[in-house]
Structure 1
Amino acid sequence: MSQSTLTKPSALGAPVAGAFWMILAGVAFTGVNTLEQIATVNLHLPASTAAFLQYAVALVVILPWAARRGLPSLKSRRPGLQALRVLLAAVGVQFWVLGLSHAVPIGQAIALVMTSPFIVTLGAGLFLGEKVSLERWLAVLVGFAGGLIILDPFSAEFTTSILYPLAASVLWAGVSLIQKKLLAVDSPEAVTAWLLLLLAPVNLVLALPSGIVMPSGDAWIAIVAVGIMTAAAQGFLALAYAKADAAYVQPFDHMKLPLNVLAGWLVFGWVPSSQLWLGAALIVGASMFLLWRETRRQ
């Protein structure tokens, strides 16, 4: 899950540094996805166990740093909404890892998750009462068209497992929508702390029905590396948004697509189809248009 609470950039700003940290976050998340797939596909670690251990390790890595800075207050005016947000995020993680465990090509999965901003736009118009212009509706349609091209539901190669990353995208869009409502009444620190402290325990609860399987030697190495890189990736994201404006660094987030495609080719031998590139081009183009419109409006 590649979400982070945005922080205000410094007055001087540092665009080059912001771009560097955003690209580094993409590299870290590529490592997370590749190692997660190795742990679940090659080393046969159950997806629910892998998801729990990933965030348990990340929590262990992050807690000492958070303790030195002073843990932010968990006081919230909407604790029920906070809990719902964490639950949606955790279930999204479960679907994401489930997709990787079913050998969905990493690049294809990432491209489908990139439809999340369009789902957020759709939800903001339908559920939050935000005004959505005709241009933004058209961008949403183009983005969804790109996702449909990547899914290719009528081809012989289509399997239901490819729907798992799409389900994760929908759930993480719900997380973003709830976060928008929470930030109107709660501090960014409280919103971040709830997710940081509860994501691992909620994933544990979700993993219990199928049972927790302790990894073997190689699987332990892979999953510990996944947890450490997850924590590092979130830190890189925070640094990127702290160094430069979100409108500037966000386009560099799209680097995660070619990075994951490259990793899938090098590690698993997956060669992306022309349909993937066409669908991805529509998704990236539409998301860049939405970003341009938002920047222009501000």
Structure 2
Amino acid sequence: MSQSTLTKPSALGAPVAGAFWMILAGVAFAGVNTLEQIATVNLHLPAPTAAFLQYAIALIVILPWAARRGLPSLKSRRPGLQALRVLFAAVGVQFWVLGLSHAVPIGQAIALVMTSPFIVTLGAGLFLGEKVSLERWLAVIVGFAGGLIILDPFSASFTTASLYPLVASVLWAGVSLIQKKLLAEDSPETVTAWLLLLLAPVNLVLALPSGIAIPSGDAWIAIVAVGVLTAAAQGFLALAYARADAAYVQPFDHVKLPLNVLAGWLVFGWVPSSQLWLGAALIVGASMFLLWRETRSSSG
């Protein structure tokens, strides 16, 4: 899950440094996805267990650093909404890892998750009462068309598992929508703390019905590396947003697509189809247009 609560950039922040940290986060997430797929597909670690261990290890890595900075309070004006946000995030993680465990190509999965901004735009208009212009509706349609091209639901290769990354995208869009509402009443530190401290325990509860599997030696190495890289990726995202405006660094987030495609090709031999590139071009183009519209609206 590549989300981070945005922090205000320093007035002296260097945009180049922000772009560097965002690209480094993309490299880390490509490593996370590749190792997660190795752990679940090659080493047969059950997806629910892998999802729980990933965030449990990430929490162990992050907690000493967070404790030194002072852990923010979990006191919230909307605890029920905070809990719903964590639940959406955790279930999204479960579907994401489940997709990887069914050998959905990493590049395809990442491209489908990149439809999340269009779902956020749609949800903001339907549930938050935000005005959505005709241009934004067109961007949403183009983005979803790109996702449909990638899924290719009428092809022989289409399976139910192909939808799992898209389900994760919908759930994580819900996380973003709830976060928008929460930030009107709670501090960014409180919103971040709820996700940081509760994501692993909730994933544990979700994994219990199928049982927690004890990883083998190689699986332990892979999943520990996944957890450490998850913590590192979140740290890189925070550094990126701290160094430069979100409008500047966000386009560099799209680098994760070719990075994940490359990782899938090098490790698993998955060669991306022309449909993937066409669908991804539509998704990236539409999301860049949405970003440009947001930037123009905020400066206008």
**For the superposition of Structure 1 and Structure 2, which TM-score range results when normalised by the shorter chain?**
over 0.9
Work out the CA distance in 2 between the residues paired with 1:64 and 1:161. 37
Work out the CA distance in 1 between the residues paired with 2:199 and 2:286. 31
Per-residue deviation at 1:13? 2.0
Large movers: runs of 4+ above 3 Å: none
Work out the CA distance in 2 between the residues paired with 1:262 and 1:13. 31
Q: Classify the secondary structure of the residue corresponding to 1:13.
A: coil
RMSD (Å) for aligned C-alpha atoms: 0.3
Per-residue deviation at 1:43? 0.1
Per-residue deviation at 1:211? 0.0
Q: Classify the secondary structure of the residue corresponding to 1:74.
A: coil
Which 10-residue stretch deviates more, 91-100 or 67-76?
67-76
Deviations 1:76-135 (A, max 9, x none): 000000000000000000000000000000000000000000000000000000000000
Q: Classify the secondary structure of the residue corresponding to 1:123.
A: helix
Q: Matches of residues 216-231 of structure 1 in structure 2 within 5 Å? A: 216-231=216-231
Match of 1:103 in 2: 103
Q: Matches of residues 56-67 of structure 1 in structure 2 within 5 Å? A: 56-67=56-67
Deviations 1:199-251 (A, max 9, x none): 00000000000000010000000000000000000000000000000000000
Per-residue deviation at 1:75? 1.0
Match of 2:269 in 1: 269
Work out the CA distance in 1 between the residues paired with 2:59 and 2:204. 13
Work out the CA distance in 1 between the residues paired with 2:198 and 2:163. 26
TM norm structure 1: 0.99
Deviations 1:38-94 (A, max 9, x none): 000000000000000000000000000011011011110000000000000000000
Per-residue deviation at 1:12? 1.5
Match of 2:254 in 1: 254
Instruction: Structure 2: state its 5+ residue gaps.
Output: none
Per-residue deviation at 1:275? 0.1
Deviations 1:118-158 (A, max 9, x none): 00000000000000000000000000000000000001111
TM norm structure 2: 0.98
Matched, 1:44 2:62: no
Deviations 1:174-215 (A, max 9, x none): 000000000000000000000000000000000000000010
Instruction: Structure 1: state its 5+ residue gaps.
Output: none
Identity score, percent? 94
